[in-house]
Structure 1
Amino acid sequence: METANSKRQAALKQLGEQTFDVLVVGGGITGTGIARDAALRGLKVALVEKLDFAAGTSSKSSKLVHGGLRYLEHAEFALVFESVNERKRLMKLARHLVRPLPFLVTNYKGDKRFLATLALGLWIYDALCFFGNYRNHVTYGAKKTMKLEPTLKSQGLNGGILYYDCLTDDARLTLECALDAQSLGAVVLNHVKAGKLLRAADGRVQGAVVEDIETGTTVEVRSKVVINATGPWSDEVRALAGEPRILKPTKGIHIVVDAARLPVKHALMMNSPRDKRAVFCIPWGLGRTVVGTTDTFFDGSPDKLEPTKEDVTYLLETANSYFPQASLVEDDVLSTWSGLRPLLKPDDEGAGASAVSREHEIYDSPGFVTIAGGKLTTFRLMAAQVVDKAITQLDVTTRSTTATRPLPGSQGLDGTDEALAQLAKSLEGKGLPEGGPEYLAGEYGTRAPLLLERAAADGLERLDPELPSIFAQVDLAIEDEFARTLDDVLSRRIPLILRARDQGLGIAPKVAERMAAKLGWSKERTERELTHYRAVVNGTRAFKTAS
């Protein structure tokens, strides 16, 4: 019987024995999307990620698949057009993970945009996806707007506009791309770091030396093209190829609070009272509300990213300006996450962080391709364009078919609300905690029944008293979802670090014991995993100790 360890060893062996068409470096949403697209075209593909899938920016987004309404202000019509249509497509291809979310954009006396101007912008927004939105927008007066969100500040309110974008689990979206790439024949490995690039006599890149972080073993991976899809680490990998820096990253942090303290029913687009930047207030489900994001230039290491007191204060001030009755304070923050946007250097060096374009760019040289910039919503389109660029160096002709292939958890779903509801209903009566059927249907889609079929005797035991997550998810994460560390499980597969009141610290020892039994960890390794996870949690709380 195959185990998680034996599957990993087999994959590592394949890395050193095969010559690949494409070696993808970086296991975020773009890298896994590229690997999936290339494998679906019949190419021989390898993917390596030095941390975990989605450990960087791809699990630190606002968790929205959206058209980018604010990009209309900068006349980025092409980006909005791509985004709204990719959002529509992802609702079909990943229906369990990309779910409709009602948004409310309000207008107050003194705002720089009139309500009519906002309405015009939303007509353009709807038109750019050929009026194929989940639902088209509706404009309301102040009285109706207050009925929609009773805790909103009423003073000076002119009205609001209701429209729809989508909420997602960004880490799971990334994971499902990796799982699908693997099912299509790609060799997919996390905790494997790319180092020195291999070159032919003429200087062409033809692979890389990679290191298994778990053992320190190095392998030479031969590949006709190496694709750099490392997001905020792109310049580091480009340096290995002797290529210039191209990024101007910005930091974005989010805070999580108890929904009882900020009980919103719609996602709110707020304007910061300090600088008038757009900030979201998002009903995240399972009793939590998210506020974010900040947008500030960052010139430090992508490996060391933490929220500052200033970041958190900025978001609390913004939320309190729209919901004065909440009177949120620092102690209300249950968790945070901090991510880097791998944005391209603007031509105007004086441009503010929020003015830097979210467009992507592809750079290529013999045997080496870099993708930088872009946004979560358009990952599938970016991946297809990168593979199109790579195959020009492979002397093959193929076309992307990811536009019609559902991700694993949506295979068998027809992309409707009713289908997802029916799936959740089929999980009832299985002994799950309250809210468990809907939660598992949303996280795993049509993979959920398999999770329950394989559940161990104690698999339905809860991981947290407030949340519907169960131990069977831990087992699946280890056996089928590449989880190799405690952080992999509790930060991304089952993100208690973001949702649990104690950020998963209470259950961490039991989860670590379960992982030790399945992965053969020593007592010393188990303790190191616990120590590391506590450090990760402390990093999310860095703002509390900042001077």
Structure 2
Amino acid sequence: MPVPPWSPQLGPERRRRDLDRLRTQHFDVVVVGGGVVGAGAALDAVTRGLSVALVEARDLAAGTSSRSSKLFHGGLRYLEMFEFGLVREALRERELMLSRLCPHLARPVSFLYPLTRPLIERPYVGAGLALYDTMGGSRSVPRHRHLRRSGARRLVPALKRDTLVGGIRYYDGLVDDARHTLAVARTAAAHGAVVLTSTEVVDVLRHAEDDAGNEDGAGDGASGDRVTGVRVRDLEAPDEPAFDVHGTVVISATGVWSDELQAMAGATPSFTVRASKGVHLLVPRARIDADSGMILRTATSVLFVIPWKDHWIVGTTDTDWHLDLAEPAATATDIRYLLDQVNRVLTVPLTTDDIEGVYAGLRPLLARAHTGGRHPSRVSREHAVARPVPGLVVVAGGKYTTYRVMGADAVDAAAVDLPEPIPPSCTERIPLVGADGFPALRNQAAQLAADWDLPVGTVRHLLHRYGSELHQVLTPAVDDRSLLMPLPGAEHYLCAEVRFAAVAEGALHVDDVLLRRTRIAMETGHRGADSAVAVAGLMGDVLGWDTERRAAEVAAVLDRVAAERASQQQLTDAAADGIRRTAPDAERSAGTLAGDRV
């Protein structure tokens, strides 16, 4: 049965149809960038009644949006910078995510703030957390609570006694960033947006305008040019020529690539983006004896210890990055820094042998003249929206939590170039795919487990990843019970989840599943290598891969894992980057089979 035009399914048939639409339709808005801000802008625009296409060169959330600290948070440290408006805005968004927009993907998470100085620190931090509890209309998380030293150590026995005089427990929101970004994009697709990955922008289309605003042939990048679309190339069909996608407005939500797209458009940038590398480690839950996460002060920033399934996430670093933007590399120096910082407070120190996962991402920080040479951690996370030339809107900066506001602001700015007035944003009332009916399903977990003959823990795992799409994930197992088996090398994931990733979630490569549809690549010591063959088989059955293509996909995973491990033994960014680049990304590996990429 054909997939209806307004459906969240991003499978092979939908991709073929959306490519046809991309070639033939004129869109009101073309969004470049499939991270959370681009997906948010696409959802905002399409729910205002605009025709929308989103194009992404790699995969949804392939960059920053799959490599964050996995938090919806207000930014507690920004209170110290007196950025109250930014914190209030972020806390309001946190509340929307937890209560209305994606309660299946987000949940409250506890943190201990250890107090290290008697008398003066408790009232100071307590006053900040009192503000944090009340700003933004928070109702979905408990309020902060003061603890004596004994209470703090009961909550986190792993802490050295002499590292604290007491503590304060507070809450934020935990989220799987990659799955959340995917849900935002699929919700946009469900409302009629074209959403296409492996679709690379190779040029920006421009036409010169006369003083009356009439188009007058092809432009040359001068200030009088108007952007009228983009030229793209389908990386899944490298032998086919690039083609033009026409739009009234192009919104660039390309994060750390923002400067590149503005240059492609011949625009003088209103701001530039500064890439700051953040590295996180995953260690087994048993290695830190604690019933709460922690937030720790460092010399330059803060360090989080975040509960994540059977692991702790320890991060992050905050250093300038000037090398490959697609795959920033973690170094042995980064890893040593994180271990040294967390070991300052732990009774049983962590070692490199405890590390099961490492990931690195780039924060797109605004670099204006007033930031000067300040350390990246002192640069505000406030976002900016600019219209450097008619028909082009650029949005950058900000933080993951405020993606929805950034998307709405970008569409508001795009309205200047649209022929008719547009309604105000309504995305604060649009639940994401999987959110509808989630509370009832959560209460029915035991019965669902009995119905599907699965452990209750497995059903809860599925509900917090798919919400009300649970039955769509599991229904194919009615005819093929093997889909209910755990995936080799990743016992917490079912084979049915891999099939669903290819059928409905737009996964085109094995690493799309290992890195983003699941988190196998960061949660397992083998980093996805032991699961690659099984994933290639399940995906290949859906996507029609032959034996050669399946082998190439597995080889790409093994190359990635080897390059990651080797790069993380290097002491400098340059050395690590040189090794990390030796592993081609999945799109390039697939393209090599079909023809050379330009």
TM-score greater than 0.5 by the shorter chain: yes
What CA distance in whole angstroms lies between the structure 2 residues aligned with 1:303 and 1:412? 37
Distance in structure 2 (CA, Å) of the matches to 1:210 and 1:544: 34
Cross-structure match for 1:375:
399
- 1:354-503 pair list within 5 angstroms: 354-364=377-387, 365-394=389-418, 395-413=420-438, 419=440, 421-429=442-450, 430-433=452-455, 435-455=457-477, 456-464=480-488, 467-503=491-527
How much has 1:519 moved relative to structure 2?
1.2
Going from structure 1 to structure 2, the CA distance change for 1:233 and 1:160 (only over 3 Å counts) comes to: same
Q: Structure 1 residue 15: deviation in Å?
A: 0.3
Q: Once the 2 structures are TM-superposed, how far is the Cα of residue 205 of structure 1 from its aligned partner?
A: 0.5
Matched position secondary structure for 1:7: helix
Aligned to 1:108: 116
For residues 445 and 345 of structure 1, the distance between their equivalents in structure 2, rounded to whole angstroms, comes to 39
Contact 1:433-1:462 within 8 A present in 2 as well: no
Shift, 1:518, TM fit: 1.8
Structure 2 match to 1:253: 279
The DSSP-based 3-state class of the residue aligned with 1:115 is helix
RMSD (Å) for aligned C-alpha atoms: 1.8
- After TM superposition, which residue ranges in structure 1, 4 or more long, deviate above 6 angstroms? none
- Give the aligned partner of residue 96 of structure 1: 104
Structure 1 residues 281, 539: CA separation in 2 closer, same or farther (over 3 Å shift)?
A: farther
The CA deviation string for residues 302-347 of structure 1, in whole angstroms up to 9 with x for no partner, is 123110011100111112112131x211121111111000111041
Per-residue CA distance 1:475-527 (angstroms, 9 max, x = gap): 10000000000010111001100112322211211211222222122322222
Q: Give the percent of matched residue pairs that are identical in Structure 1 and Structure 2.
A: 39
The 1:431/1:420 distance shift into structure 2, 3 A limit, reads closer
Superposed, 1:230-309 pairs within 5 Å as 230-243=254-267, 244=269, 246-272=272-298, 275-285=299-309, 287-309=310-332
How far apart, CA to CA, are the structure 1 residues paired with 2:288 and 2:557?
A: 28
Alignment of 1:69-84 (within 5 A): 69-84=76-91
Once the two structures are TM-superposed, the CA of residue 300 in structure 1 deviates from its matched residue by 1.4
Q: Which of 344, 352, 360 in structure 2 is aligned with 1:330?
A: 352
* 1:433 Cα deviation after fit: 4.8
Matches within 5 A, 1:124-203: 124-130=131-137, 132=139, 134-202=141-209, 203=225
Instruction: Letter of the 1:328 partner, please give it.
Output: L
Relative distance call for 1:8 and 1:260 in structure 2 (3 A) is: same
Q: Structure 1 residues 543 and 496 mapped into 2: Cα distance closer, same or farther (>3 Å)?
A: same
Q: So what's the TM-score if we normalise by structure 2? A: 0.87
Aligned equivalents of 2:181 and 2:199: distance in 1?
17
In the TM superposition, what is the alpha-carbon distance from 1:276 to its structure 2 partner?
Answer: 4.9
3-state SS, counterpart of residue 129 of structure 1: helix
- Conserved in 2, the CA contact under 8 Å of 1:487 and 1:533? yes
Per-residue deviation at 1:467? 3.5
> Which amino acid is the alignment partner of residue 250 of structure 1?
S
TM-score where L is the length of structure 1: 0.95
The Cα offsets for residues 101-133 of structure 1, whole Å up to 9 and x where unpaired, read as: 01110111489x712211011011122124635
- Kept in 2, the 8 Å contact 1:512–1:530? The answer is yes
1:37 to 17, 29, 44: 44
* C-alpha spacing 1:156/1:219, structure 2 compared with 1 (3 Å): closer
Flag the 1:215–1:374 CA change in 2: closer, same or farther, 3 A: same
Amino acid at match of 2:330: P
Q: Quick one: structure 1 residues 302 and 184, their matched pair in 2 at CA, closer, same or farther if it must change by over 3 Å?
A: same
Match of 1:18 among 20, 25, 43: 25
Give the number of aligned pairs.
538
Deviations 1:168-198 (A, max 9, x none): 0000110011111111011110110112111
Instruction: Look up the SS of the partner of 1:200 in the other structure.
Output: strand
> How many Å separate the matches in 2 of 1:498 and 1:396?
45
Secondary structure of the 2:381 match is: coil
Preserved contact between residue 335 and residue 540 of structure 1 (Cα < 8 Å): no
Question: Which amino acid in 1 is paired with 2:46?
Answer: A
Q: Contact 2:256 / 2:274 at 8 angstroms: preserved in 1?
A: no
1:521 aligns with 2:554: no
Q: Which residue of 2 aligns with 1:530?
A: 554
CA distance in 2, matches of 1:428, 1:501: 29
Residue 592 (structure 2) aligns with? none
> Where does residue 541 of structure 1 map in the other structure?
565
Offset of residue 542 of structure 1: 3.9
Q: Which runs of 5+ in 1 are unaligned?
A: none
Question: Which AA in structure 2 matches 1:330?
Answer: T
Cα drift, residue 348 of structure 1: 3.0
Tell me the secondary structure at the aligned position of residue 474 of structure 2.
helix
SS class of match (2:527): coil
Q: Offset at 1:380?
A: 0.8
Q: Give the residue type in structure 1 aligned to 2:492.
A: P
> Structure 1 residue 14: deviation in Å?
0.7
Question: 2:112, 2:294 within 8 Å by CA — same for their partners in 1?
Answer: yes
Q: Which residue of 1 aligns with 2:251?
A: 227
